Amino acid sequence: MLIVQKFGGTSVGDLDRIGNVAKRIAKTKDKGNDIIVVVSAMSGETNKLIGYAEHFSKTPASQEMDMLLSSGERVTSALLAIALQDMGYDAISMSGRKAGINTDGKHTSARISHIKTDNMKKSLNEGKIIIVAGFQGITEDDNVSTLGRGGSDLSAVAIAGAMGADLCEIYTDVDGVYTTDPRIERRARKIDKISYDEMLEFASLGAKVLQNRSVEMAKKLNVNLVTRSSFNENEGTLITKEENIMEEPIVSGIALDKNQARVSLRNVKDEPGIAAKIFSKLAENSISVDMIIQNVGFDGTANLGFTVPENELENSKKIMEKLNAAENLEFDSNIAKVSVVGVGMKNHSGVAGTAFTTMADNNINIEMISTSEIKISMIVDEKYSELAVRSLHEAYSLDERN
């Protein structure tokens, strides 16, 4: 079997842990498997490097950020290869470039265009264990690129797809995908199997256990994806096609995204074209707007509010100030998005009612709402967001039954 194993930041968080990961890889190799390993930077490393850059500039050039951030993953891949070699295994580390990960030129959130598999195939044929530095690739102009935060998951899935791996295992610091973040609700239940679509919704709404683009890619390339703990032997969660899942619950889980910020425009001119102007300017700057509300116009003006990722707030501020489309601008990063997710919701009524009643019972004000066939999202004050998650988890009877 060809297996791709990805180890996240906590799993390679210190030298002892890198040693343990080496032992785990050796065990898989001893069973006769071919292995490609993908690693993250040691936990905290990427944030530390971002901090270093911010010491010099609030808006560092993204090309330089990629040069800087990609170094974290290279450190881990080399250390892991050294550890395995010392144990007598033939291992080789590869940068994203050597592994053939070609991307577009959008620095800090590059997309993989194709993978040139020659080097990986050659090393596998020689019986080597390959250790790829995750999160990075190479642009057409030969510059290092990175794939966005959490991007090592994407490296692993893309490599598994390109190499036709039998299995892609994402090793992390929890046993799999839970009904909600087990660090917020300890009664959360591990999900044994989840469909690509549901996992994609979960990941897009803030469950960072898998990066959302990696789930999208797994679905597209039909990659057998499992997420499990690197600290025990427990079976993890299988992410698979919908038809492989016997019964889908109405609500599968609750997601929380604290990386949200709100922009409010008071007294915007109530005339055609104003929204187009605001949102096309944001789009031009690659800022993804999530929820939008506009109240009914009064006295020739209206109020408009929308949410953006927290790390885009500074940019959004600048753009709004320059546009000068409203009398008054307000910015708030102390908000969070709480979402109820479930593919089974499609065929049931009353799901949204339960969410709103639960929030009311807990005296939590809902500032914005958006719904789709398979999710209900609410913007709330960040202070109350974990309480909201726990209350909703209970209201939909997701707590572990014992």
Residue 79 bridge partners (DSSP): none
Q: How far is CA 47 from the centre of its chain?
A: 15
Residue 204 touches ligand ASP, criterion: CB under 6 A: no
Measured from the CB atom, the residue of 270 and 394 that comes closer to ligand ADP is 394
108: left (phi over 0), alpha (psi -120 to 50) or beta: left
Residue 72 touches Mg ion, criterion: CB under 5 A: no
User: In sequence order, what are the residues at sequence separation of 6 or more whose Cβ sits closer than 8 angstroms to the Cβ of residue 21?
Assistant: 7, 11, 12, 80, 171, 230
Binding part of the chain for ligand ASP, among 12-20, 145-153, 159-167, 371-379 by CB under 6 A, reads: 145-153
Residue 147: helix, strand or coil by DSSP? coil
Measured from the CB atom, the residue of 40 and 237 that comes closer to ligand ASP is 40
Question: Could you count the other beta carbons within 10 Å of the beta carbon of residue 399?
Answer: 17
Q: Which amino acid is at 238?
A: L
Residue 9 touches ligand ASP, criterion: CB under 6 A: yes
Site for ligand ASP in 65-124 (CB under 6 A): 72
Residue 41 touches ligand ASP, criterion: CB under 6 A: yes
Binding part of the chain for ligand ADP, among 3-11, 88-96, 317-325, 372-380 by CB under 6 A, reads: 3-11
The whole-angstrom separation of Cα 149 and Cα 348 is: 35
b/e per residue, 38-66, with b = 16+ CB within 10 A? bbbbbbebbeebeeebeeeeeebebbebb
DSSP 21-60: HHHHHHHHHHTT-EEEEEEPPPTTHHHHHHHHHHHH-SS-
Q: C-beta of 42: minimal distance to ligand ADP in Å?
A: 10
Site for ligand ADP in 122-181 (CB under 6 A): 150, 172-174, 177-178, 180-181
Site for ligand ADP in 34-73 (CB under 6 A): 40
Tell me, by CB under 6 A, how many residues bind ligand ASP: 13
Residue 206 touches ligand ASP, criterion: CB under 6 A: no
Measured from the CB atom, the residue of 178 and 306 that comes closer to ligand ADP is 178
Closest CA to 256 of 354, 378, 370: 378
Residue 174 binding partner per list ligand ADP, Mg ion, ligand ASP, none, with a CB distance cut-off of 5 to 8 Å that depends on partner kind: ligand ADP
Measured from the CB atom, the residue of 100 and 134 that comes closer to ligand ASP is 134
Site for Mg ion in 121-180 (CB under 5 A): 150
Beta strands in 200-275 (DSSP E): 225-229, 237-240, 253-269
Closest CA to 6 of 21, 27, 26: 21
Measured from the CB atom, the residue of 72 and 137 that comes closer to ligand ASP is 72
The whole-angstrom separation of Cα 402 and Cα 394 is: 14
Binding part of the chain for ligand ASP, among 149-157, 187-195, 258-266, 360-368 by CB under 6 A, reads: 149-157
Residues that bind ligand ASP (CB under 6 A): 8-9, 40-41, 46, 72, 134-135, 149-153
Q: Which residues bind Mg ion (CB under 5 A)?
A: 8, 150
Contact set with ligand ADP (CB under 6 A): 8-11, 40, 150, 172-174, 177-178, 180-183, 207-209, 253
